[in-house]
């Protein structure tokens, strides 16, 4: 529980590879469509930086031409989530702190986490499912955009960026890790682990949260 004299904290969670262990929302969506090979190729190009977030989004939008809300719901349900997400967010809320998800993945997937207890959930803006409109590259998030959103959320919740805790797994989280004082690398590669205050490997968010729970 937060102490009255303690500043409130905002906990910022990445989604792909962090809350979803060893996978990503686009991969789980593509799994429902039988397009694992195709999304695998896109993911490799993105990780190798042969394409950036806007091009990735345009290509994945084209790949998902048959996507329905039922596919999205099934992908969300079947994703390999860390254990204890709802419990951690409940404790954060009860302690007077805030929790938010900021992800490069589609907002129509990310925003489902509001029902799990996140105060805010931001993803790349895609058109409504099923797609009848093109994707607007201007609405696709980047690593730098994560920091801008974090600043906006701090203003909205009345907290300082200097009291934030960030949880992430890859170099797309490096900019936000550099912007806040406390960071947790969750099942991360060695690049991000070297930048983190704490390192966690495992399948339960409660264990990762324990590393920063009393860090006031």
Residue 165 has pLDDT above 90, yes or no: yes
Coil vs helix vs strand at 152: helix
Alpha carbon distance 30, 67 (integer Å): 9
Q: What is the pLDDT of residues 80-139, one digit of tens each?
A: 999 999 999 999 999 999 999 999 999 999 999 999 999 999 999 999 999 999 999 999
Percentage of residues of the chain with pLDDT beyond 70:
97
Alpha carbon distance 53, 177 (integer Å): 19
Q: What's the pLDDT score for residue 215?
A: 64
* Chain mean pLDDT for the chain: 95
Confidence of residue 142 (pLDDT cuts 50, 70, 90): very high
**CB-count burial class (<10 Å; 0-12, 13-18, 19+) for 208:** buried
Alpha carbon distance 207, 205 (integer Å): 5
């Amino acid at each position: 529980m937060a102490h009255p004299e303690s500043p409130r904290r905002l906990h910022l969670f990445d989604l792909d590879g962090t809350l979803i262990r060893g996978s990503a929302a686009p991969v789980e969506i593509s799994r429902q469509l039988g397009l694992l090979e195709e999304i695998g190729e896109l993911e490799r190009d993105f990780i190798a930086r042969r394409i950036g977030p806007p091009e990735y989004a345009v290509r994945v939008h084209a790949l998902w031409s048959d996507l329905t809300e039922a596919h999205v719901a099934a992908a969300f349900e079947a994703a390999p989530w860390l254990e204890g997400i709802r419990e951690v967010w409940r404790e954060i809320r009860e302690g007077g702190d805030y929790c938010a998800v900021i992800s490069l993945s589609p907002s129509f997937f990310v925003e489902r986490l509001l029902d799990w207890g996140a105060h805010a959930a931001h993803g790349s803006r895609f058109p409504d499912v099923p797609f009848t409109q093109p994707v607007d590259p201007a609405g696709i998030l980047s690593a730098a955009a994560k920091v801008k959103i974090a600043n906006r959320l701090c203003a909205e919740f009345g907290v300082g960026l200097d009291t934030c805790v960030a949880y992430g797994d890859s170099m797309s989280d490096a900019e936000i890790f550099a912007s806040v004082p406390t960071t947790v690398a969750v099942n991360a590669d060695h690049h991000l682990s070297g930048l983190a205050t704490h390192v966690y490997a495992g399948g339960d968010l409660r264990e990762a949260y324990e590393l920063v729970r009393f860090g006031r």
